[in-house]
Structure 1
Amino acid sequence: MNKKRLKEYAVSYSFLLPFAVFFIVFTVIPIGYVFYLSLHDGNFLQAQFDWVGLKNFKDVLQTPDFQNAFKNTFIYMLIEVPVSQFLGIFFALLIKKKTRFSHVCEVIYFLPMLISMVVASVLISYILSNNGPLNLLFQVLGMKPISWLNGRFSAKMAVMILELWKGGTFFIFVYMSAMRSLPADCLESSRIDGANVVQETIYVVLPLIRNAIILCVTMNTIWQFQIFESVYMLTNGGPLGATQTVIYEIYQYSFKYYRVGFGAAASLVFLLVILLIYGLENLLLREKEQTKRRGENV
C-alpha cells in the first residue's frame, strides 16, 4: 500500500474516530459492566461483589414479580401499538390538507409533546382522581364514578391513556408529513377512477406510506418496552402489581432492594427479549412488503 492510499485511509477513518470513541465509552463499556454485575451479587455500598455465575439469570426467570412485569409489559405493547398507530393515521388524515382548521389541530396535537412525562402524569392523575373532573362528569351524566387508580384493570387503562396522550401524538406528525409528501397525481387518479375516501385510504394512501408505518410501529414497540415514568408517577406499580413493568421492576430491585446483580441480569434478559421482538417484527413487516412487491411485479 503506497503512502497516498494510506493517507486517504487515515483521513477517512479519522472522521469515524469521534463516533467510535463515543460508542465504546457510552455503549460497549456500560454493557460490559452490566454483564459483569449480572454475574455477581452485592450492591454499590459494598467494597466488592461476590461471584454467583448465572444464578441471577435463573432467579430472574423464576421470580413472580418479573413474570408479572413481563406479562404487563406485553399487554401494554399489544394494546398500545395498534391503537396508537390507528389513531395516528386517523388524525393525520383529518389534517393532511393545510387549512386553518388543520393548523389549529396541529398546535393542539403538539402540546403534549412540549411537557415532560412527570407533568403529564400529575395532570392525568388529577383528572382521573376520585374527585377529579372525569368522575364529576360521570356523576353529572348519572353514571357511577370510577376509582381509576385503585382497580387492577382501570389502573392499566390509566397508564395506557397517559401513554397514548403523551407519546401517541408524535406519530400523528410522522404520518401527516408522509401523507403531505404523496404524489398528487396518484390521489387524483384514484378519485377519477371513482374511489371514495375509505378506498383511497386503504388502497392508495396506506401502501404509499408503508415505510412510515414500519418506522412508527418499530419505534412504538421499543417505547412500550421502556414504560417507566407513567407507572412510577401514577400507580407505583400497583394495585397489587397490576401495572408493574420490567423497567420499573429493574429500578425497584437495583435501587430500592439493592440487588444490583439481579437488576443487571434482568436488564440483559430484557434486552434480549426486545431484540428478539424487534427482529421478528421487522422480519414480518419486511416480508409482507416484499411479498406485496412480488405480487405487483407479477
Structure 2
Amino acid sequence: MTRTDTRVGRADARPAPGRARPYWTSRRRDQLTGYLFIAPQLFGSAVFVILPLILVVWYSLHEWNVLAGTFDFVGTENYTALADDANLGAVLRATGLFSIGLVVFNLGLALLLALLLNQKFRGTVLFRTLFFSPVVVSLVAWTIVWGFLLQDNGGINGLLDTIGVDGPNWLRGETTAMISVIVVQVFKNVGLNMVLFLAALQGVPADLYEAAEVDGASRPRQFWRITVPMISPTILLTSIITVVGSLQVFAQIAVLTQGGPGTSTTVLVYYLYQQAFQFHHFGYGATLSIVLFGIVLALTVFQWQMRKRWVHHES
C-alpha cells in the first residue's frame, strides 16, 4: 500500500500531459541570481576596461588635434612613426632599467625584511607598522617630500655633509636620477610585498625545518630547499604585481625629474603623457599606450607560463 501511494504521489507531481513546463525553473532562477551578482563587475569591466581599449585602438588610427579641432583618419601612420621616433629607444631603455631595478630591489628587500620580522623578538609589531606605513601614505605627498630630501641642498646631502661627504645633485645627474627614482619607489611599496611574504612564511610548516635540522641541513640550504619552494606562489604574485606597477609609474617621474636630465628617466608612461597632453599628438599617444599594453601583457603571460617551472605544486 505504501509503495502504491508513493507512485501515485510522484505521478501527481509531474506536469499534466500537454501542459507547458514553466520557464522560471529553480535552475534558471539560480542562474539569474548569479548573473545579477556579477553584473556590476561586468558593467564596470565593459565600461572602464573593454570600451577604453577599443577607443584607444580607434584613436591610434587617427591624428587628433584638440586645439585645432581636427580628427583625421591616418591608418597605420602612427604605427610606422614608431620606427622613426629617435627618442623611443632611449625611452624603452629607461623603462627597462627602472623596471629591473625596482623589481630586484623591491622583492629582494621585501623578502629580507619578511625573514627578519618572522623571527620572535621584541618590537616586531612596531617594525612591521613602520615598514608598511609608507604604503598608505599619499603617493604625491611621499614623492614631494623625497624631492626636497634629494635636492642639492636637501636633507640627504645635509646628512652626508656631517661626515665630510659632498653629495651630488641627485635629481640632476643621469645615473643618480634613475637611482633616486627607483629608491623612492622601492621604499614606498616595499611594505606591501613584505606583508605578503610574511604571511607566506608563517604558513610554512615548522616540522619541515625540524626535519631538515635533524638531517643536518644548513640555514642557507633550508632557505633554498624549503622556504623558497613553499612561498613560490607568493613570489609569483608579488613579481607580477611589481612588474606591472613598474611599467605604470608616472607620478614619481612627473614630480621628481620630469623625465630628465635629458631622457634618462623618461619612462614609457611619461613619454606617452608628453606626446598626448604636452605636444597634443593624441593619436601617437594612443599608439604608445597600445605598445605599453602589449609589453605588460607579454610579460604577464611569460611570468604565468614560467610558473610551471619553478612554482611549487604547479604542473
TM-score (norm 2): 0.86
> What's the offset of the Cα at 1:133?
2.2
Larger radius of gyration: 2
Which residue identity lines up with residue 118 of structure 2 in the other structure? K
Aligned mate of 1:26, from 36, 45, 48: 48
Higher helix proportion (structure 1 or 2): 1
Deviations 1:104-131 (A, max 9, x none): 1111101211211211111211221111
The answer as to 2:38 corresponding to 1:38 is no
How far is 1:33 from its partner?
Answer: 1.1
Matched residue type, 1:203: R
Match of 1:185 in 2: 207
Question: Of 252, 274, 287, which aligns to 2:296?
Answer: 274
Change (3 A) 1:46 1:94: same
Cα offset, 1:47, TM superposition: 4.1
Contact kept in structure 1, 2:233 and 2:311, CA below 8 Å: no
**Alignment RMSD, CA only?**
2.0
Q: How does 1:56-205 map to 2 (within 5 A)?
A: 56-205=78-227
Any idea what the Cα deviations from partners look like across 1:146-175, whole Å, max 9, x if unmatched? 111111000001101111111222111110
Runs of 5+ consecutive residues of structure 1 not aligned to the other structure? none
Whether the 8 Å contact between 1:61 and 1:67 is mirrored in structure 2 is: no
Secondary structure of 1:237's counterpart equals coil
* Counterpart AA for 1:120: W
C-alpha distance in 2, partners of 1:70/1:202? Answer: 34
Taking only the aligned residue pairs, the percentage that are identical comes to 25
Q: Is the 8 A contact 2:131 2:190 kept in 1?
A: no
Q: Please report how far the alpha carbon of residue 102 of structure 1 lies from its aligned counterpart in structure 2 after TM superposition.
A: 1.1
What residue ranges of structure 2 are gaps of 5+ in the alignment? 1-20
Q: CA deviation at 1:98?
A: 4.9
Give 1:180 deviation, angstroms. 1.1
- Deviation of residue 8 (structure 1)? 4.3
What letter matches 1:183 in structure 2? P
Moved over 6 A (4+): none
- Whole-angstrom CA distance in 1 between matches of 2:120 and 2:22: 58
Q: What is the distance in 1 between the residues matched to 2:234 and 2:135?
A: 19
Over 3 Å counting, the alpha-carbon distance change for 1:66 and 1:7 in structure 2 is same
CA distance in 2, matches of 1:2, 1:218: 49
The question of 1:52 aligning with 2:74 is answered: yes
* Secondary structure class of the residue paired with 2:65: coil
Native 8 Å contact 1:65 1:249 kept in 2 = no
> Aligned match of 1:247 in 264, 269, 280?
269
Q: Which moved more, 1:45-54 or 1:113-122?
A: 45-54
Could you tell me how far apart the structure 2 residues matched to 1:20 and 1:145 are? Answer: 53
Q: Is the 8 A contact 2:56 2:286 kept in 1?
A: yes
Deviates further, 274-283 or 158-167: 274-283
Aligned-partner SS, 2:119: coil
SS at the partner of 2:123? Answer: helix
CA deviation profile, 1:70-123 (whole Å, cap 9, x unmatched): 111111112221221111111100001354321111111012112112111112
Instruction: Choose which of 237, 260, 264 in structure 1 pairs with 2:286.
Output: 264
